[in-house]
Amino acid sequence: MPFGFLQSVVDLITPKPIRKERSLSDRILTQDIIETVNDCGEKRYIQIEIERNQKRERETDLNILLTKCKRLLSFVETTKNESIFKKLVAFTEKVRQALYLGDDIQNLFHEFEQIEDVTKKSSKSFNNLSDVTMMG
């Protein structure tokens, strides 16, 4: 019996977490829930998991960027340009870390494009063959 009394005193003092519930209309406006009508004419509400899809898209984008980094890294290995190689290895590690962080990834794509431009400028292959004039 004393334990139950002690537990009730602790419950009184300890604040309870309050979960703020959003109303159905708020959830419909933010498109977390879709309102539909079934064959019988009854209204049905379907919940959509938007955050999970965005997280999956972000992870897919980062995996694509990581694949591009690996391809560019293998290209840089053949050129023997050590400064670009080190820069690309450091950037690839940033992309791997971004898989676990919640940062904005748009700057990573921009940075990759800059590294790719610098890397491919030293290449003798042509990106756009329609701009190439006939030699000779």
Could you list the residue range(s) of the whole structural domain that residue 113 is in? 52-123
Q: Specify the DSSP class assigned to residue 100.
A: T
Which structure tokens are listed for 26? 């708020």
- CA-to-CA distance for 83 and 86, rounded, in angstroms? 5
At 20, the pLDDT band (50, 70, 90 cuts) reads low
Answer yes or no: is 78 within a domain.
yes
Instruction: Assess contact for 88 and 73: CB atoms under 8 A.
Output: yes
Answer yes or no: is 119 within a domain.
yes
What is the torsion angle, in degrees rounded to the nearest 10, for the CA atoms of residue 27, residue 33, residue 38 and residue 43?
-10
Q: Which of 29-33, 40-44, 50-54, 121-125 has the highest mean pLDDT?
A: 40-44
Answer yes or no: is 14 within a domain.
no
pTM for this prediction: 0.52
Answer yes or no: is 86 within a domain.
yes
Domain count, the chain: 1
